[in-house]
Structure 1
Amino acid sequence: MKNTIAERIQDFLKEFPPFSMLKKEELLMISAQIRVLYLEKGTVVFKQDQKCHDEFYIVREGAIGLYRTTDNEQNLVDICDAGDLFGLRIMIIKKDYRMSAKADEESIVYAIPSSIFKPFIDENKEVNKFLLETFAAHARNYYTETEKGNRIDNTISIDTARDLSTLRTISYRKKPLICKPTAIVKDIALQMNAHKANSIVVTDENKYPLGIITDSDLRAKIATGLFPATSLVTEIMTAPVKTYSKKLTVAEAQIALIKNNISHLCITKDGTRNSKLAGVFSNHDLLVSFGNNPSVLIKEIKRVKKIQRLRYIRKQVERLLQTYLEQDIPTMHILNLISEINDALVVRTIEISLEEMPSPPPVKFSFLVLGSQGRREQLLITDQDNAIVFEDVGKEEYQSTQAYFLELARKITKSLHTIGFEYCPAEMMASNPRWCMSVSEWKTQFTDWMTTPTEESTLLSSIFFDFQSVYGDESMVNELSDVVFDGVNKSNRFLALLGVSALQKPSPLGFFKQFLVEQNGEHKDTFDIKTRAMMVLIDSARILTLYHNLKGINNTLLRYEKLAELEPNNKELFESCAKAFRVLLKFRARQGLIHKDSGRFIKLNTLSKNDKLRLKRCFRPIRDIQEVLRVRFQLKTLM
């Protein structure tokens, strides 16, 4: 006789890992032993510190919240939706529960006997691996970001970094400092200091390398008094030098430095000392080649003279990001590090561009980054969004002053494009006269956006109100912030219109919980993770931050953290929004690294079932935060 209930359970389970890894007859046998639990909202499945049940669970319908109680305060750790497993301790370590499980809404849950399922864990490595990973993911959730942060290592071991990158040829300094054998130590020390160089090569008349002097030589031989500063360079140089050809690989260079216990290699035309010097490769360059230390990369950025070198460094940042994602480093730590490097890239680009201008800036100015970089959320390189604000000048001087900064902006945006930051298709860049104005002009622009809002101004506000100064006079930027918050205080209508924009964002899921994809255009049949998921969370955090007059907080995660403090009644929702946004940020970054793009448009057929489930769990707070905006600003009357 057919067991209809077991078959229905089987039909559901086969869509989700680890059950999808089992044979049909195995799954049917398990399904026949499963208990079906109908849970009212608030029903407790198990409690923290309670002895483990002899079964684990999977959500069929509804949502189960996992809670951790600390100091008599119950905190939401995770929400389990359809297809999610929970209560796995019985399968892994058989100790008391570390969390409580409670139905957040009316739910149906399947209880799976551990004794029935255990043989499949022992026999199937994929099943075993999946359960361990799921258990570990839940376990990680109740460690704070700070606690995880204590275990962070900003460097990558050589074993971790040992991939194809070590087999590529080195990137060395092609214009090293050189001097003649008759040079005086004091003179070459001044030369090294002026060029911020840590070495100088002594060459003969044919530019063949005779010896090398490094910072350590100056410290050990001159600063200690062993030799006077008036000595000839030949008296303190290290000779003979170790020379190699341009085809030296990163791995070979590393071995050469370690083997010879030196910090610099000389690169010559044919790899011998009887050949013209082509460049120098140092320990510092080796670290940059691995791209494994953000402080080293930032130091390197500050020393760069050519924009093309910055492009190479930005590629190294992608490798650093890849490693951080693989190590599951806390999201805020990743954002802070990558943002610091991005800011350093922009600052150095501006400095180089200023050096190329025929004259210094006529007045004070500030270069602003907008959008995701302004929020310090730009993990992957995306379009440029930037602007310039300059000091007020007389009417007769305005045109020439603006012309200067437009020319500077063109150099900056062109160089940023060379580094890898694409031009903004809508030309929201400082090279556009609309985004290069004086303080007063910007104040007028902001005021117009807020007092006579249009569809365009609402869109622009969502980008420009997340501005951050990365170079120049910050006082002018503070003036612009004051204008924004003053406008909000005078009228909530502008916030309401921003709220309408957030509510009108396309939904991520259809009526039957399927992903909604683009219907036409270049990205047809892909899922737009930015517009359909991330932007609602970003917009909502911005609107509520403006509502509460929270100045100086641009980052979406920090905004939700502060909002949770200000509105305890919505604390759980804001924490859920922050958690969802963390997952979406990392998910998009991983997709971008895999497909070598911005990660925005995702081909769903490339995702595993587990990835799709992880995404769907992130969509839950989107609906709830939209409801907060709708009620607070009475948006039904405006739509």
Structure 2
Amino acid sequence: MSYEDIKKWREQHIHEQIDHEQLNNFHDDLMLKTVQLAMEKFEEEQGEVPAPFAFFLMGSAGRKEQSVWSDQDHGIVFDGSSQHQDYFQKLGEEIVDGLEKVGYERCDGKVMASESRWTKPIDEWKQQVIDWLDEETWQSLRHFSTFIDSRFFLGEAKLLDDVKQVAFSYIQSYPEIMNRLIDNVGFIQKGVGVFGQLLPQQSGKRTGQINIKTTAMFPFVNALRLLVLCNQIMKAPTVERFTALTAKYSFLTEYQILFESLLAFKFQFTKNAVEYEEVHYIPLKKLSKKDKQELKEYMKKGGELFERTKNTIEKECSKW
């Protein structure tokens, strides 16, 4: 099997996926085949993997929220000395190259295993997580949030769990960091105007289209990330985070139903997108009156959930 074979398989079958969950399972199969092929190719050329490692996904892949098109967000943690850095980073380059050939765009922000920031020995990973939280800048906390949405994909799962545990321990020792993490994602792009109208892009290529990711999905995603940090839960997919937390926070049940409905809504209106950038936008002219009301409800409830999450964290997690 070659990257070209996997690409053809993708092209033949991706539009056969009937819902959001099936599509994301298809992406997992596709990426797993690609990463395994990249590893086989690399080991033939460079020798066997020199240390135990975990390859993990981040971003929409980490959260199982991919659309028909997706870019790459991934990293590697390995249990060995820094002398193995070159091997794993070059392995990361092969994985990036393979995924790109199959149809996954490179990440503009370089959140990929080919970059030293996202591929490190476990001790350096633990220190980096602490440094990000210590630094408390907008960018360092953004990197931290990206990492916390990581999902183990291949190798030794415990390595990734051990790094996340360092983050949980830090937050328990310095709970006030939760307020900074709230501020870091606190800006919610307005999707509805003062007269109750949807607010699409006003200029450029996406004029007349609304960004469903930033206006509707992000408030749910950010709220659940904050709650799992507060409750030391390892899971990355937002739906799994809801399920893990509803026993403690019964108010989440209503929002989980809404979020799963939002995923279905997004799937319906983006499943025929022809390029990556298109999957985040929906032209308003495609929406019926009922669709528009539904979209406004997702935006309203997402904002409401984020506020309830803030209040919960202020009561429970930022004053341990």
Same fold (TM over 0.5): yes
Following the alignment from structure 2 to structure 1, what is the Cα–Cα distance between the partners of residues 36 and 240?
Answer: 30
1:296-344 Cα distance to aligned partner (Å, 9 max, x none) = xxxxxxxxx11111112222442232xx24xxxxxxxx52x44443223
Aligned to 1:629: 309
- The unaligned stretches of length 5 or more in structure 2 are 316-320
Distance 1:577 1:411, change over 3 A: same
TM-score w.r.t. the length of structure 1 is: 0.46
Q: Whose Rg is larger?
A: 1
Following the alignment from structure 1 to structure 2, what is the Cα–Cα distance between the partners of residues 369 and 546?
Answer: 18
CA drift of 1:520 comes to 4.2
Q: Does the 8 Å CA contact 1:443/1:480 hold for their aligned counterparts?
A: yes
Aligned to 1:381: 69
Following the alignment from structure 2 to structure 1, what is the Cα–Cα distance between the partners of residues 25 and 267?
Answer: 17
Amino acid at match of 1:442: W
Following the alignment from structure 2 to structure 1, what is the Cα–Cα distance between the partners of residues 199 and 175?
Answer: 33
Secondary structure of the structure 2 residue equivalent to 1:433: coil
Q: Do structure 1's residue 312 and structure 2's residue 8 form an aligned pair?
A: yes
Amino acid at match of 1:615: L
CA drift of 1:634 comes to 5.0
CA drift of 1:628 comes to 1.5
Aligned to 1:595: 273
Q: Do structure 1's residue 486 and structure 2's residue 169 form an aligned pair?
A: yes
Q: Does the 8 Å CA contact 2:219/2:303 hold for their aligned counterparts?
A: no
Following the alignment from structure 1 to structure 2, what is the Cα–Cα distance between the partners of residues 427 and 584?
Answer: 28
Aligned to 1:580: 258
Secondary structure of the structure 2 residue equivalent to 1:618: helix
Secondary structure of the structure 2 residue equivalent to 1:483: helix
Secondary structure of the structure 2 residue equivalent to 1:432: coil
Q: Do structure 1's residue 360 and structure 2's residue 43 form an aligned pair?
A: no
1:514-555 Cα distance to aligned partner (Å, 9 max, x none) = 11223445434421100111011001011012112223x222
Following the alignment from structure 2 to structure 1, what is the Cα–Cα distance between the partners of residues 99 and 285?
Answer: 34
Q: Does the 8 Å CA contact 1:354/1:360 hold for their aligned counterparts?
A: no
Q: Do structure 1's residue 345 and structure 2's residue 30 form an aligned pair?
A: yes
1:108-127 Cα distance to aligned partner (Å, 9 max, x none) = xxxxxxxxxxxxxxxxxxxx
Following the alignment from structure 1 to structure 2, what is the Cα–Cα distance between the partners of residues 613 and 539?
Answer: 23
Q: Identity over aligned residues, as a percent?
A: 26
Aligned to 1:450: 133
Secondary structure of the structure 2 residue equivalent to 1:437: strand
Residue in structure 1 matching 2:229, options 546, 568, 579: 546
Q: Comparing both structures, which one devotes a greater share of its residues to helix?
A: 2
Amino acid at match of 2:75: A
Q: Does the 8 Å CA contact 1:365/1:472 hold for their aligned counterparts?
A: yes
Following the alignment from structure 1 to structure 2, what is the Cα–Cα distance between the partners of residues 361 and 429?
Answer: 19
1:434-471 Cα distance to aligned partner (Å, 9 max, x none) = 11111111111111112221111222222210111211
Secondary structure of the structure 1 residue equivalent to 2:123: helix
Amino acid at match of 2:31: V
1:386-427 Cα distance to aligned partner (Å, 9 max, x none) = 01111221xxxx25x211112211111111111111110111
CA drift of 1:372 comes to 1.6
Following the alignment from structure 1 to structure 2, what is the Cα–Cα distance between the partners of residues 360 and 392?
Answer: 14
Q: Does the 8 Å CA contact 2:75/2:112 hold for their aligned counterparts?
A: yes
Aligned to 1:141: none
Secondary structure of the structure 2 residue equivalent to 1:620: helix
Q: Does the 8 Å CA contact 2:78/2:122 hold for their aligned counterparts?
A: yes
Aligned to 1:184: none
CA drift of 1:633 comes to 4.6
Q: Does the 8 Å CA contact 1:389/1:442 hold for their aligned counterparts?
A: yes
Distance 1:522 1:462, change over 3 A: farther
CA drift of 1:584 comes to 2.0
Q: Comparing both structures, which one devotes a greater share of its residues to strand?
A: 1
Amino acid at match of 1:624: E
Following the alignment from structure 2 to structure 1, what is the Cα–Cα distance between the partners of residues 118 and 268?
Answer: 32
Following the alignment from structure 2 to structure 1, what is the Cα–Cα distance between the partners of residues 302 and 133?
Answer: 26
Secondary structure of the structure 1 residue equivalent to 2:247: helix
- The unaligned stretches of length 5 or more in structure 1 are 1-304, 326-333
TM-score w.r.t. the length of structure 2 is: 0.89
Aligned to 2:318: none
Following the alignment from structure 1 to structure 2, what is the Cα–Cα distance between the partners of residues 633 and 474?
Answer: 28
CA drift of 1:370 comes to 0.6
Task: Please give the root-mean-square deviation of Cα atoms over the aligned residues, in Å.
Answer: 2.0
Larger RCO: 1 or 2 (CA < 8 Å, sep 6+): 2
Following the alignment from structure 1 to structure 2, what is the Cα–Cα distance between the partners of residues 471 and 560?
Answer: 24
Alignment map for 1:82-231 (pairs within 5 Å): none
Aligned residues between the structures? 310
Amino acid at match of 1:587: F
Secondary structure of the structure 1 residue equivalent to 2:192: coil
Following the alignment from structure 2 to structure 1, what is the Cα–Cα distance between the partners of residues 306 and 15?
Answer: 36
Q: Does the 8 Å CA contact 1:580/1:619 hold for their aligned counterparts?
A: no
Q: Does the 8 Å CA contact 1:381/1:421 hold for their aligned counterparts?
A: yes
Q: Does the 8 Å CA contact 1:389/1:439 hold for their aligned counterparts?
A: yes
Following the alignment from structure 1 to structure 2, what is the Cα–Cα distance between the partners of residues 522 and 483?
Answer: 43
Distance 1:364 1:630, change over 3 A: closer
Q: Does the 8 Å CA contact 1:389/1:438 hold for their aligned counterparts?
A: yes
Following the alignment from structure 2 to structure 1, what is the Cα–Cα distance between the partners of residues 260 and 108?
Answer: 27
